[in-house]
Chain A
């Protein structure tokens, strides 16, 4: 799961990847763009999973109409467009779930999920759940090219994949050039005074 859009508020994003085999939730990627305490995060995930798993994606819409009790969706406020929405899409055994505010278009978020999945597919070539399980860090880096701090920054799949590739290449290069003196570099690492202080604790 992941993402959610919006920035700020909640934009929590989360994708929940849910393992259907034993009906227990297994999250593959969770990302919140609005700070939420860990215990509440966990509870929220469980509630969202519970609600989504009761639905039948064959004929039900991708919108979670009954919000989890934990979430203040703003539905009670006087203007009803202050609402938080939970939008999900099901691919095989995975559910990609976004929790977004009303500034996001419902259909556009569904497209965004599709974009994200296509980007994953492009990166992994025929992505499957195992890929996602073992390449969590790849998910994170792809997501980072799609959503930054809760805002969607790119919806063009080629650009997304391109950025991921570039970044990886640059990482490797820098690793190779500097890693010759790896042990020395570590010792010399203490450039910031605070770093010294932190290790010294």
Chain B
């Protein structure tokens, strides 16, 4: 490849010493030294430290060559993390050298180290102004260097000082200078937007520059500016449109498309003109990069409406082809655009299910990661199972191997499935199954099995969020799909009894345990489960523990009421429970302590009652405690309903909860209770219920919440124990407007449910017993198998009928708007944003974003006023600060002088012809693979 453009040895030699051969040796020595001391990091560090102190000495030397040399080395060493801002003044010295190569070194160093040093920047201003002038042809390069330097170190003050000089240079006869000036102006505009406003036409006239590089640079700058503040550039649209039609340079076309994207976002009228042209461009171009950007422009520029099926199809066809390409880059970016189109209207992408299914098995995981986002657009009842099984198989990991390399040989490279992707899979499966209130799930036994599999997978994923989500799904299933509660609860028991689930995936337990407690009536052998939970509970996290405590009590109550005859076992379990709770009375978590104490006291009383009352079953266990939990059936309500409850409603606190008659009834059963904190509120409900004899088997009001908000439901669990104002209000309201249960409705329910279980067959019962046993034995595989078989059997018999899924109840509370709930939600988001502050944010906010080009007159007025104020203030201070003022004046004088000089020397003879000779084209060739597409300006 050398022969193609055959540079002479001299040419090459010359290129290799851009900063002058004088320095070459010592920088090379440094690099050589680094390479020979690279065995250990310590060795390298010692070497570098030694070099640094040498550089420090050299930088202080009065020999300019030595100094420059030291600066060059320091600039190199900055890459290794050694700060060089201490030598900023030396850099300044080198920058001001008369010798071009020293100047280059100086500017290079300055661009890396000046940005924070205000003092040096101030001093650099004068130097820059000086360097931006040219007196003879050689100065072209000096100016070029200065312009590059200016682009990296511009400050608002510097921008103001220098802007007039720059505008003069826009008219330079050298395209090289013009393009560099245009680019440097970009940074100036960011800091000093007024300059753009007053010279708008002057600047934008560079769009019509005869030199393509200058046009390209101008478009780039306008593109960037328009990202920050598009409004002033709208009126350039016709001109830009002309350029788009005429130009054949792919690089420029892409920049133009980006620019139009920015403009079209705020000016919808552009669509009418632009869209046909862009579509035409899509038809005519062969370059993938242009095609891609054209589609991107349509999508990101808001030119695709929900109803534009024709355009959407056209775009999607292009992307479809890209997605089938061999080039993983094309596949990846097309996936991203697919997603954006899907977001505009999901129907656009729904027919591409085959393609998307292919993409979620792509060899490149990063493409899968994007494609998997598309699934929600194509999922349906028909393909849900296929999608889920495809995804679940990827966890296995040995699917992994089949890859063909580009060299024609096919090699097997295992595809590494990163954890982030696995987490994403679980997330997406949960999402697509649950979306639209489980509209796509036709078989909830299958979904239960999926949830179990996902749990097993998530155990090793180390992502607590997943546990919460799966737990919520299980809880949702319990609440929303009443027909399969007996299956779901078996699944939950299986999951809860997984070995060390409380350590590996503790977050899943909250949903599980809540369900177990709430639906404990479905369980026959609550005692086994109780024993298991008691064993696990001490290892749980605090948040889980507080859920567990309530669940344990619910489980116990349900079980002991059903087995009232087994006094011995009941006592044994109750003792265990009381023991367990007493241990938690000293928990470090306040929440746990509080709940455990409350439950502890009540259960201790029950235990005493049990011991005293040898003949019968204590009322406390049979009536009072159940009434805590069983008064209402929970139903799902829509998110935020609870927050809409009006606050501060008056209610009569003097009204006794119990009439004397009722009180007597209670006291009759258990005298010792009266003095303690037997939640009066609940007793009230119980007794009210029994008075009214209102038996209704199907509750249709909503109670608190049971929806997917974790914290909320914890509240539900516990709220019955506290006489909380809002609870009180809520329940009063319910009592007024809703039918409610009797305390002993529980029994009727129980009967039904027990019957349910019997109907379904013995194996359900067995399942639960097995599971419970398994926990005790901590996992017996044979048992598990038998369960799976039982399940399969059931699957075969399963009926195709769609199960009933309860949907959210919407409760409209007059006078309360949705904004309440929105506000509540937003608060959750903000903390994560503030976390970002530690990160590197590469997007700097600049003045340009806030600058209003229309209102500038007002701005100016204000500014003038402010200026006046400042002036009068300074006048007052004048006497004190005579010296300072002098300095200021001096500077101003200098500024004026420089401007004059600039104007006086309009132009410079150019070396254009020479340069043009040099740049005759040769076909470039490179050792590396060819590009997919050339967007270069060749």
Chain A interfacial positions (CB closer than 8 Å to B): 6-12, 27, 29-30, 33-36, 38-42, 44, 54-56, 58-63, 65-66, 69-72, 74, 76, 80-82, 84, 89, 91-92, 99, 101, 103-108, 110-111, 114-115, 117-118, 121-127, 133-138, 140-141, 144, 148-159, 161-175, 178-179, 182, 185-187, 189, 191-192, 194-195, 198-199, 201
**Which residues of A lie under 8 Å from residue B616 when comparing CB positions?**
none
**Which A residue sits closest to B108, measured CB to CB?**
A140
> 8 Å CB contacts to A: which residues of B816-863?
832-833, 836, 839-844, 846
Task: Out of B78, B176, B369, B403, name the residue touching A58 (CB < 8 Å).
Answer: B403
B213 near A: Cβ within 8 Å?
Answer: yes
**Can you give 26 A-B contacts (C-beta < 8 A)?**
A8-B843, A12-B842, A59-B364, A61-B367, A71-B842, A106-B292, A111-B933, A114-B931, A118-B925, A121-B1, A122-B5, A123-B16, A133-B31, A138-B15, A149-B184, A154-B179, A157-B924, A158-B920, A159-B919, A165-B11, A170-B140, A175-B99, A186-B65, A192-B126, A194-B92, A194-B123
Do A165 and B99 touch across chains, with their CB atoms under 8 A apart?
no
B932 near A: Cβ within 8 Å?
Answer: yes
**Which residues of B lie under 8 Å from residue A137 when comparing CB positions?**
17-19, 23, 27, 72
> Given the known A-B contacts A156-B938, A178-B99, are A72 and B842 also in contact in the complex, defined by CB atoms under 8 Å?
yes
Q: CA A194 – CA B121 in complex, angstroms? A: 12
> Given the known A-B contacts A103-B223, A165-B11, are A158 and B919 also in contact in the complex, defined by CB atoms under 8 Å?
yes
Given contacts A7-B186, A11-B842, A58-B406, list 18 more A-B pairs with CB under 8 A.
Answer: A8-B224, A38-B83, A99-B842, A101-B842, A106-B292, A108-B293, A118-B926, A125-B12, A126-B2, A148-B151, A149-B187, A155-B938, A156-B919, A156-B937, A158-B920, A171-B20, A174-B138, A198-B93
Chain B interfacial positions (CB closer than 8 Å to A): 1-2, 5, 7, 11-12, 14-20, 22-23, 27-28, 31-32, 35, 62-65, 72, 76, 78-79, 81-83, 89-90, 92-93, 96-101, 104, 108, 115-116, 123, 126-127, 138, 140-141, 144-145, 147-148, 150-152, 176, 179-180, 183-184, 186-187, 190, 213, 216-217, 220-221, 223-224, 227, 251, 254, 258, 288-289, 292-293, 296, 300, 328-329, 331-333, 340, 363-367, 369-370, 403-406, 411, 413, 416, 418, 420, 832-833, 836, 839-844, 846, 911, 914-915, 918-922, 924-928, 931-938
Do B926 and A117 touch across chains, with their CB atoms under 8 A apart?
yes
Do A121 and B413 touch across chains, with their CB atoms under 8 A apart?
no
Do A169 and B14 touch across chains, with their CB atoms under 8 A apart?
yes
Do A72 and B927 touch across chains, with their CB atoms under 8 A apart?
no
> Given the known A-B contacts A148-B180, A156-B936, A157-B936, are A70 and B839 also in contact in the complex, defined by CB atoms under 8 Å?
yes
Among A62, A84, A91, A137, which residue has the most Cβ atoms of chain B within 10 A? A137
Do A171 and B919 touch across chains, with their CB atoms under 8 A apart?
no
**Which residues of A lie under 8 Å from residue B938 when comparing CB positions?**
155-158
**Could you tell me the distance in whole angstroms from the C-beta of A128 to the nearest C-beta in chain B?**
8
Task: Out of A99, A167, A189, name the residue touching B18 (CB < 8 Å).
Answer: A167
Do B413 and A56 touch across chains, with their CB atoms under 8 A apart?
yes
> Given the known A-B contacts A117-B926, A137-B27, are A66 and B15 also in contact in the complex, defined by CB atoms under 8 Å?
no
**Which residues of B lie under 8 Å from residue A74 when comparing CB positions?**
843
**Which residues of A lie under 8 Å from residue B403 when comparing CB positions?**
58-59
Do B151 and A8 touch across chains, with their CB atoms under 8 A apart?
no
**Which residues of A lie under 8 Å from residue B333 when comparing CB positions?**
63, 106-107
Task: Out of A6, A33, A111, A164, name the residue touching B935 (CB < 8 Å).
Answer: A111
**Could you tell me the distance in whole angstroms from the C-beta of B761 to the nearest C-beta in chain A?**
48
A-B pairs, top 5 by smallest CB distance, nearest first, are A149-B151, A10-B842, A198-B89, A107-B289, A141-B18
Task: Out of B32, B81, B100, B925, name the residue touching A174 (CB < 8 Å).
Answer: B100
Do A60 and B366 touch across chains, with their CB atoms under 8 A apart?
yes
Do A44 and B840 touch across chains, with their CB atoms under 8 A apart?
yes
Q: CA A191 – CA B64 in complex, angstroms? A: 14
**Which residues of A lie under 8 Å from residue B78 when comparing CB positions?**
38
**Which B residue sits closest to A144, measured CB to CB?**
B148
Do A62 and B927 touch across chains, with their CB atoms under 8 A apart?
no
**Which B residue sits closest to A43, measured CB to CB?**
B840
**Could you tell me the distance in whole angstroms from the C-beta of A195 to the nearest C-beta in chain B?**
5
> Given the known A-B contacts A65-B370, A138-B15, A171-B100, are A60 and B115 also in contact in the complex, defined by CB atoms under 8 Å?
no
Q: CA A171 – CA B151 in complex, angstroms? A: 21
**Which residues of A lie under 8 Å from residue B937 when comparing CB positions?**
154-156
Do B18 and A138 touch across chains, with their CB atoms under 8 A apart?
yes
**Which residues of B lie under 8 Å from residue A91 when comparing CB positions?**
927-928
**Which residues of B lie under 8 Å from residue A115 when comparing CB positions?**
936
Do B289 and A29 touch across chains, with their CB atoms under 8 A apart?
no
**Which A residue sits closest to B368, measured CB to CB?**
A65
Q: CA A167 – CA B15 in complex, angstroms? A: 9
Q: CA A172 – CA B920 in complex, angstroms? A: 23
**Could you tell me the distance in whole angstroms from the C-beta of A107 to the nearest C-beta in chain B?**
4
**Which residues of B lie under 8 Å from residue A6 when comparing CB positions?**
224
Q: CA A44 – CA B1 in complex, angstroms? A: 36
**Which residues of A lie under 8 Å from residue B152 when comparing CB positions?**
33, 149
Do A186 and B20 touch across chains, with their CB atoms under 8 A apart?
no
**Which residues of A lie under 8 Å from residue B64 when comparing CB positions?**
182, 185-186, 189
Do B329 and A62 touch across chains, with their CB atoms under 8 A apart?
yes
Task: Out of A56, A125, A157, A169, name the residue touching B2 (CB < 8 Å).
Answer: A125
Task: Out of B20, B83, B127, B289, name the residue touching A108 (CB < 8 Å).
Answer: B289
Q: CA A76 – CA B922 in complex, angstroms? A: 46
**Could you tell me the distance in whole angstroms from the C-beta of B438 to the nearest C-beta in chain A?**
28
Do A41 and B81 touch across chains, with their CB atoms under 8 A apart?
yes
**Which A residue sits closest to B90, measured CB to CB?**
A198
Do A151 and B221 touch across chains, with their CB atoms under 8 A apart?
yes
Q: CA A137 – CA B78 in complex, angstroms? A: 13
Do B96 and A191 touch across chains, with their CB atoms under 8 A apart?
yes
Among B19, B223, B915, which residue has the most Cβ atoms of chain A within 10 A? B19
Do B186 and A149 touch across chains, with their CB atoms under 8 A apart?
yes
> Given the known A-B contacts A106-B329, A111-B935, A159-B919, are A8 and B104 also in contact in the complex, defined by CB atoms under 8 Å?
no
**Which residues of B lie under 8 Å from residue A117 when comparing CB positions?**
926, 928
Task: Out of B258, B328, B841, B931, name the residue touching A60 (CB < 8 Å).
Answer: B328
> Given the known A-B contacts A40-B840, A61-B332, A65-B369, are A153 and B180 also in contact in the complex, defined by CB atoms under 8 Å?
yes
Q: CA A81 – CA B337 in complex, angstroms? A: 11
**Could you tell me the distance in whole angstroms from the C-beta of A183 to the nearest C-beta in chain B?**
8
**Which residues of B lie under 8 Å from residue A108 when comparing CB positions?**
251, 254, 289, 293, 935
> Given the known A-B contacts A136-B31, A154-B179, are A175 and B22 also in contact in the complex, defined by CB atoms under 8 Å?
yes
Among A108, A127, A158, which residue has the most Cβ atoms of chain B within 10 A? A108
Do A167 and B141 touch across chains, with their CB atoms under 8 A apart?
yes
**Which residues of B lie under 8 Å from residue A201 when comparing CB positions?**
89
Do B81 and A42 touch across chains, with their CB atoms under 8 A apart?
yes
**Which B residue sits closest to A40, measured CB to CB?**
B840
Q: CA A105 – CA B32 in complex, angstroms? A: 38
Do A151 and B186 touch across chains, with their CB atoms under 8 A apart?
yes
Q: CA A29 – CA B306 in complex, angstroms? A: 47
Q: CA A140 – CA B78 in complex, angstroms? A: 13
**Could you tell me the distance in whole angstroms from the C-beta of B482 to the nearest C-beta in chain A?**
38
**Which residues of A lie under 8 Å from residue B23 when comparing CB positions?**
137
**Which residues of B lie under 8 Å from residue A58 when comparing CB positions?**
403, 405-406, 411, 413
**Which residues of B lie under 8 Å from residue A170 when comparing CB positions?**
100, 138, 140-141
**Which residues of A lie under 8 Å from residue B93 when comparing CB positions?**
189, 195, 198-199
Task: Out of B62, B842, B935, name the residue touching A9 (CB < 8 Å).
Answer: B842
Do B126 and A110 touch across chains, with their CB atoms under 8 A apart?
no
**Which residues of A lie under 8 Å from residue B76 when comparing CB positions?**
136
